């Protein structure tokens, strides 16, 4: 993990309100693990004061500017414009200077390749699942259940399909795929593939419903959580969640940035988690 | 040595070392408590040996769970926090964190607080014989805990009492950190000086509040939090200026410092050293940049020793 002063390679709207940004990021192809994130800062800009956390969508190499130069290593992040920070980000262009701190946090455990995998993504929560799918498809059967409120929230599904992932889309208004919640699809799929393990990222109510479904079936579950965070390195203690066994006398707080953002479901205190705020103000 | 037109030229390295309450700092820059964890969180990003001192997160007698989430929110050029002094407790700190910090040659200042007068005294007592603790910073000013510091920090007589009691139990340099949330900070500053404080640090956060207009709920679970960041710097500079004039003991300036020129403002009004807080969250390497910036400023201005600059405000 390191703080890089770097530049934007591209920044495009891929669906109404959703942007995909490619950033020059040396060493990330080697360093970044699925589920990890970066703290992103628009250089010399104030406001926003704090960096914003973004899950890494993918890493890669781009063609050099001219022959003989090395290929350019990049990462891509996908963000939804929800607040003052992302409003500034959507105006950025190729060549604009930014800072990246990362890769940060604990990513996904790829698990036993023999087991089938079901990935559950809600809206922007899909982002950290792409690198995970990339690593898994070579050895495991991977299915992606992608949910959103409307068709606008369904992003990059074709890219998962190109990897060889079987995808199932659902929207709450029925404008794309099956009408309803992604958790309905999950219940059906788990009935059909009871040995599968589940990896989920999305809004808190979705994560919570996924946890309930998996808990009743004893299905192994890993979740990637979002939280408001200031530092990303475990110092500010702004992003804590209560761990299993937490009491006031014996606090078991876990930092989403450092012990997470990916947790095994059994690490967390779910009775308290559902009372926590659901949406990700951190990426605003 | 460097070369200029073939002649060897000596590049002047200005002296940045300062001394506060018998503590020798290689430069006047250190983290503000609560923004730097127990030091280890930032070790991957900056060399802790470069810092004037290392100031730990606030510690209490027993581990403290802290407040419910959300605990932070961003405001214009600042942030509100209501972490609630979550910490591992003094005994776990001495056992697990001191050995890590002892690897570094920067003096370690342990920030601590209590819910009661007795707890303050007990924590100071437990730290007294711990090797590797160079000094204590006593927090009588956190706005985010019900029983906590702020009662002591806002009543001059209570501040005097708690500092006197701690003073009796510790030989270590004792810094007292003040809250700005009072009518006249000079009154509390004088009270803690009379009670035996070796130095005073200020300011802690200013109390503030933000509201989510859609849900009509406060943006922090604790409703009220402490405001920090660049937004508060002019207030902090003013308060440090006033306290420097009111007391004899050295003052450490805190509040919205994120660049060398910010630190210089505090030094010029008379702070002997500065603490960097929220800026650590934004740039984990910021204190090194500030230290380099101070050196460069002194070189450019022909200042050989940074002490020449301290308290040179011209009014």
- Locate the chain A residue with the closest alpha carbon to B65: A251
Q: What gap in Å lies between CA B9 and CA A277, rounded to an integer?
A: 61
A134, A163 Cβ separation under 8 angstroms = yes
How many Cβ pairs within 8 Å bridge chains A and B? Answer: 102
Active site residue B142: yes
Kindly state whether A271 is in contact with chain B, defined as any CB-CB distance less than 8 angstroms. Answer: no
Q: How far apart are CA B75 and CA B228, in angstroms?
A: 9
Query: Using a CB-CB distance cutoff of 8 angstroms, which residues of chain A are in contact with residue B225?
Result: none
Backbone angles phi, psi at B159, to 5 degrees: -60, -45
Angstrom distance (rounded) from CA A11 to CA A1: 24
In our burial notation (b when 16+ CB lie closer than 10 A, e otherwise), range A21-50 reads bbbbbeebeeebbbbbbbbbbbeeeebbbb
Report yes or no on A69 lying in a domain: yes
Domains identified in chain A, total number: 1
Cα distance between residue A283 and residue A77, in whole Å? 12
A142-201 pLDDT, tens digit per residue, is 999 999 999 999 999 999 999 999 999 999 999 999 999 999 999 999 999 999 999 999
> A48 and B74: CB-CB below 8 Å?
yes
B89 touching A, CB under 8 A?
A: no
Chain B: closest CA distance from residue A263 (Å)? 18
Is A234 in contact with B283 (Cβ distance < 8 A)?
A: no
Question: Between the CA of residue A61 and those of A158, B119, B174, B298, what are the distances in Å?
Answer: 20, 57, 55, 44
pLDDT at B152 (0 to 100): 78
CA B278 and chain centroid, separation = 11
Give me the long-range contacts of A135-142 (CB less than 8 A, separation at least 24).
Answer: A135/A34, A135/A110, A136/A110, A137/A163, A137/A164, A137/A165, A139/A113, A140/A111, A140/A113, A140/A114, A140/A115, A140/A116, A141/A116, A141/A117, A141/A166, A142/A116, A142/A117, A142/A166
Contacts with B282 from chain A: Cβ below 8 Å:
41, 49-51
CATH number (3.40.50.2000, 3.30.70.20, 3.30.430.20, 3.20.20.70) of B2-308 reads 3.20.20.70
Residues B51-74, mean pLDDT to the nearest whole number: 93
Mean pLDDT of A48-67: 91
Q: Looking at chain A, how many residues does it have?
A: 284
The answer to whether B72 contacts A229, with C-beta atoms less than 8 Å apart, is yes
Dihedral over Cα of A40, A43, A45, A49: its sign: positive
Give the domain range for residue A61. Answer: 2-104
State the pLDDT at residue B143: 55
The answer to whether the CB of B179 falls within 8 A of the CB of B207 is no
Domain annotation covers residue A206: no
DSSP structure class, residue B11 = P
Structural domain includes residue A171: no
Both tokens assigned to B98: 């001191």
Judging contacts by C-beta atoms under 8 Å, the chain B residues touching residue A251 are 63-66, 86
Is residue B32 within 8 angstroms of chain A, CB to CB?
no
Judge whether A106 and A131 are in contact, CB under 8 Å: no
Residue of chain B whose Cα is closest to the Cα of A53: B282
Give the pLDDT of residue A188.
94
What pLDDT, in 10s, does the model give residues B231-268? 999 999 999 999 999 999 999 999 999 999 999 999 99
- A282 assigned to some structural domain: no
- Candidate from B35, B79, B284 with C-beta closest to A50: B79
pLDDT in tens, A87-112: 999 999 999 999 999 999 999 999 88
Closest CA to A25 of A61, A49, A53: A61
A212 pLDDT more than 90: yes
Nearest chain B residue to A99 by CA: give it: B283
- Region A8-16: mean pLDDT is 95
CATH code for the domain in which residue A70 is found: 2.40.30.10
Strand, coil or helix: what is A280?
Answer: coil
State residue A272's pLDDT score: 58
> For residue range B93-133, what is the model confidence (pLDDT) as tens digits?
999 999 999 999 999 999 999 988 899 999 999 999 999 99
> Taking the CB of residue B151, how many other CB atoms lie within 10 A of it?
16
Answer yes or no: is A45 within a domain.
yes
What is the pTM assigned to this prediction? 0.91
Closest CA to B55 of B14, B95, B20: B20
The domain locations on chain B are: 2-308
Residue B148 has pLDDT above 60, yes or no: no
A194 belongs to a structural domain: no
Instruction: With beta carbons under 8 A apart, name residues in chain A contacting B44.
Output: 1, 233
CA distance B56 to B93: 10
- How is residue A117 annotated by DSSP? E
Task: Provide the token pair at A52.
Answer: 């914003």
In the Cβ-directed half-sphere of B126, how many Cα atoms lie within 13 Å?
20
Q: Is residue A51 less than 8 Å (CB to CB) from chain B? A: yes
pLDDT of B9: 53
The token pair at B305 is: 């020793």
pLDDT at residue number A24: 95
Residues of chain B above pLDDT 70, percent? 93
Q: What is the pLDDT of residue B315?
A: 87
The CA distance from A162 to A145, in Å, is 15
**Mean of the pLDDT values across residues B83-93?**
92
**CB burial string B47-68: b at 16+ within 10 A, e below:** ebeebbbbbbbbbbbebbbbbb
pLDDT on residue B153: 78
What are the residues whose beta carbons fall under 8 Å from the beta carbon of B98, sequence distance 6 or more?
B108, B130, B132, B133
Residue-wise pLDDT for A218-273, tens only, equals: 999 999 998 889 999 999 999 999 999 887 777 788 999 999 999 999 999 988 55
The dihedral formed by the CA atoms of B291, B52, A255 and B209, expressed in degrees to the nearest 10 = -80
Percent of chain B at pLDDT > 90 equals 85
Give the closest of A2, A49, A239 to B230, CB-based.
A49
In whole numbers, what is the pLDDT of chain B averaged over residues? 92
Interface of B with A in 59-78 (CB under 8 A): 63-66, 69-74, 76-78
B30, B46, B142, B276: the catalytic one is B142
B155-212 residue pLDDT tens: 888 899 999 999 999 999 999 999 999 999 999 999 999 999 999 999 999 999 999 9
* Predicted local distance difference test score (pLDDT) of residue B150: 60
Query: How many angstroms away from the CA of B37 is the closest CA of chain A?
Result: 4
Min Cα distance B76 → chain A (Å) is: 7
**Average pLDDT of every residue of chain A:** 90
Instruction: Tell me whether residue A19 is in a domain.
Output: yes
Give the closest residue to B230 by CA, choosing from B281, B185, B272. Answer: B281
Cβ A84 vs Cβ B265: under 8 Å: no
Residue A277 reports pLDDT greater than 70: no
Q: Sorting pLDDT into bands at 50, 70 and 90, what band is B149?
A: low
Which residues have a Cβ under 8 Å from the Cβ of A275 and sit 6 or more positions away? none
How many whole angstroms separate alpha carbon B158 and alpha carbon B225? 23
> Positive or negative, the Cα torsion across A114, A139, A268, A149?
negative
Per DSSP, which regions of chain B are E strands?
Answer: 2-4, 7-9, 18-20, 23-25, 29-31, 54-55, 72-75, 78-81, 108-112, 135-139, 174-177, 199-202, 206-208, 211-212, 217-218, 225-228, 251-254, 273-276
The pLDDT, as a whole number, for residue A279 is: 37
Tell me, yes or no, whether A43 lies in a domain: yes
The pLDDT score that the predictor gives to residue B141 is 76
């Amino acid at each position: 993990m390191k703080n890089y002063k770097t530049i934007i390679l591209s920044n495009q709207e891929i669906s109404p309100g959703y942007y995909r940004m490619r950033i020059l990021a040396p060493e990330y192809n080697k360093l970044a693990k699925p589920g990890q994130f970066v703290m992103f800062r628009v250089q010399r800009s104030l406001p926003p004061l704090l960096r914003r956390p973004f899950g890494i969508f993918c890493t890669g190499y781009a063609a050099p500017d001219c022959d003989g130069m090395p290929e350019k290593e990049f990462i891509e992040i996908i963000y939804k414009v929800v607040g003052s920070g992302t409003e500034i980000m959507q105006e950025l262009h190729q060549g604009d200077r930014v800072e990246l701190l990362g890769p940060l946090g604990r990513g996904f455990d790829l698990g036993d390749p023999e087991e089938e995998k079901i990935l559950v993504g809600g809206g922007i929560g899909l982002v950290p699942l792409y690198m995970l799918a990339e690593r898994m498809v070579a050895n495991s059967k991977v299915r992606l259940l992608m949910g959103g409120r409307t068709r606008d929230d369904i992003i990059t599904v074709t890219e998962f399909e190109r990897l060889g992932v079987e995808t199932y889309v659902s929207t709450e208004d029925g404008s794309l795929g099956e009408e309803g919640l992604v958790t309905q699809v999950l219940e059906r799929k788990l009935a059909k593939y009871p040995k599968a393990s589940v990896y989920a990222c999305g809004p808190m109510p979705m994560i919570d419903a996924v946890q309930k479904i998996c808990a009743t079936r004893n299905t192994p579950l890993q979740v990637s959580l979002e939280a408001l965070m200031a530092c990303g390195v475990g110092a500010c203690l702004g992003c804590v969640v209560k761990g299993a066994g937490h009491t006031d006398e014996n606090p078991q707080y876990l930092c989403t940035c450092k012990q997470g953002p990916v947790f095994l479901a059994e690490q967390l205190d779910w009775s308290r988690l559902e009372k926590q705020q659901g949406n990700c103000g951190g990426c605003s | 040595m460097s070369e200029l037109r073939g002649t060897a030229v000596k590049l002047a390295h200005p002296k940045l070392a300062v001394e506060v309450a018998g503590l020798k700092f290689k430069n006047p820059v250190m983290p503000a408590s609560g923004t730097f964890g127990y030091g280890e969180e930032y070790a991957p990003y900056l060399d802790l040996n470069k810092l004037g001192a290392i100031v730990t997160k606030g510690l209490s007698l027993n581990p403290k769970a802290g407040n419910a989430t959300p605990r932070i929110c961003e405001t214009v050029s600042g942030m509100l926090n209501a972490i609630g002094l979550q910490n591992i407790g003094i005994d776990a700190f001495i056992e697990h964190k001191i050995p890590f910090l002892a690897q570094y040659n920067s003096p370690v200042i342990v920030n601590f607080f209590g819910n009661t007068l007795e707890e303050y005294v007990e924590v100071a007592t437990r730290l007294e014989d711990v090797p590797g603790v160079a000094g204590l910073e006593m927090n009588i000013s956190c706005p985010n805990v019900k029983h906590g510091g702020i009662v002591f920090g806002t009543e001059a007589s209570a501040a005097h009492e708690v500092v006197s009691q701690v003073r009796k139990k510790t030989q270590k340099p004792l810094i007292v950190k003040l809250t700005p949330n009072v009518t006249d900070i000079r009154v509390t500053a004088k009270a803690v000086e009379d009670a035996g404080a070796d130095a005073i640090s200020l300011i802690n956060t200013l109390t503030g509040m933000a509201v989510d207009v859609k849900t009509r709920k406060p943006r922090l679970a604790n409703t009220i939090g402490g405001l920090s960041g660049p937004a508060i710097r002019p207030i902090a500079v003013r308060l440090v200026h006033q306290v420097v004039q009111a007391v004899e003991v050295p003052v450490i300036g805190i509040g919205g410092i994120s660049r060398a020129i910010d630190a210089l403002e505090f030094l010029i009004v008379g702070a002997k050293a500065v603490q960097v807080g929220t800026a650590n969250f934004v740039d984990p390497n910021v204190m090194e940049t500030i230290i380099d910036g101070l050196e460069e400023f002194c070189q450019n201005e022909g200042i050989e020793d940074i002490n020449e600059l301290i308290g040179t405000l011209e009014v």
